[in-house]
Amino acid sequence: MLSAGAAGASLELRAAARADLDGLVGLLLRREGTEPDEEAARRTLQELDPARCIAWMAAADGRPVGISTVLVRTVAAGARSWRAGYWCALYVDPAFRQRMVYPLLPRAMHRAVGAGGLDFVYACVRIPWLVAAHQKIGLVRLGELPVLAKPLAPAALLARHRGLGGAAEAAGWPIDRVAAAYRRLRRAGALAGHAVAPLRWDGPDLGEVASLWERAACRSIGQPWSADLLRRRYGDAGAAYALLAVRRRGRAVAAAVVRVVRRERLLLGVLLDVVADDPGDGWAWRAALAAAEAHAHALGCHAVLALDGPGVLPEGTLRAAGYLATPERYTFLVWPCREPGPGSPLRDLRRWRFAFGDHDAF
């Protein structure tokens, strides 16, 4: 039911300007189910730099009550490229959700970004009702991407996930100790003959592993990663993305990006992306996954999450490395502006390369 204030407020839909940044950051900090993090909210909005972020807002009597945002990206397939928007940071104040702010706000944004030269908008959405709502306003569903998890401390993971308390977690400690020993042996086997080194995003070695991403991008539809783009995506000092290079006989054969996040009572490692010099080099893939797992284990994580997205790892690699299915799934959608028509390669999810690093979260 609408509050009296929401029912009587004068509502305006418009493009956000840099002067709106503080108000929109404050709106995002009020989102339900998220940890308030002002720096993360500012990163999400890219400081409202119009070259990197297009945001539309709903204002009630001048106060922000809704936001819809796209991150401006280049998406390429070989020599062809598109100017695209990745849809993120959609939020409407609960008091105004019955004022039809959604779907009016994203529709207004869609008309604006189409007129402004974006070829298409795409999104990867986890919440089922939001997927259905997106489809009703014109997004085209391309498929689903499963989230897999590898337990590192299975007893503690179960106890914390179900809220069983410290006593249950302590009782499971012997199980976790055995599991940790087993995981160490498996990682040692996967890493045999390889050396792992953490790299700085502003360091001189970034170019060496950036070339792996550049070659991977040439094989699929996706962002044409470069050293500069990787640095901009992951190199913010407050974001704590770890870059791990895997070398064999001194040459970089693979690399992984990992971040540690807290989700309620759980500490989780998130595999943002992984690349290998040779897509058919199974040892390089196994070593990169083992390096990511070792990093997460050293920081006390209960599990590692990975998106089993298209074009990233050879099919079955995550499951062979011990990753298990979870109930979480992301739905990949596109929203045509000038592209993609029914015959466009952009509508074939199998031709894309999409990892958690392409998503706006984590």
Among 123, 107, 130, which residue's Cα sits nearest to residue 349?
123
Over residues 114-120, the mean pLDDT reads: 86
Q: What is the pLDDT of residues 47-74, one digit of tens each?
A: 899 889 999 999 988 899 999 999 999 9
Burial class of residue 200 in the structure, from the number of CB atoms within 10 Å of its CB (0-12 exposed, 13-18 middle, 19+ buried): exposed
**Residue in the block written with tokens 């060496």:** 208
Among 260, 269, 280, 273, which residue's Cα sits nearest to residue 225?
273
Over residues 217-234, the mean pLDDT reads: 94
Q: Read off the pLDDT band of 144 (50, 70, 90).
A: very high
Q: What pLDDT sits at residue 1?
A: 41
Q: What is the pLDDT of residues 146-196, one digit of tens each?
A: 999 999 988 877 878 778 888 877 777 788 788 888 899 999 999 999 999
Sign of the dihedral defined by the CA atoms of residues 62, 39, 67, 53, in that order: positive
Residues 79, 233, 126, CA angle at the centre, nearest 5°?
90
Alpha-carbon distance of 246 to 295, in angstroms, equals 13
Mean pLDDT is lowest, of 29-43, 53-67, 300-314, 328-342, for: 29-43
Q: How many angstroms separate the Cα of 350 from the Cα of each of 144, 221, 316?
A: 11, 9, 15
Over residues 29-41, the mean pLDDT reads: 74
pTM to 2 decimals? 0.91
In order of start, what are the domains of the chain with their CATH numbers? 4-118 (3.40.630.30), 147-330 (3.40.630.30)
Q: What pLDDT sits at residue 113?
A: 87
| 162 or 227: which leads in pLDDT | 227
Among 323, 325, 322, which residue's Cα sits nearest to residue 186?
322
pLDDT-above-90 percentage for the chain: 65
Tokens describing residue 251? 């040459």
Q: What pLDDT sits at residue 7?
A: 61
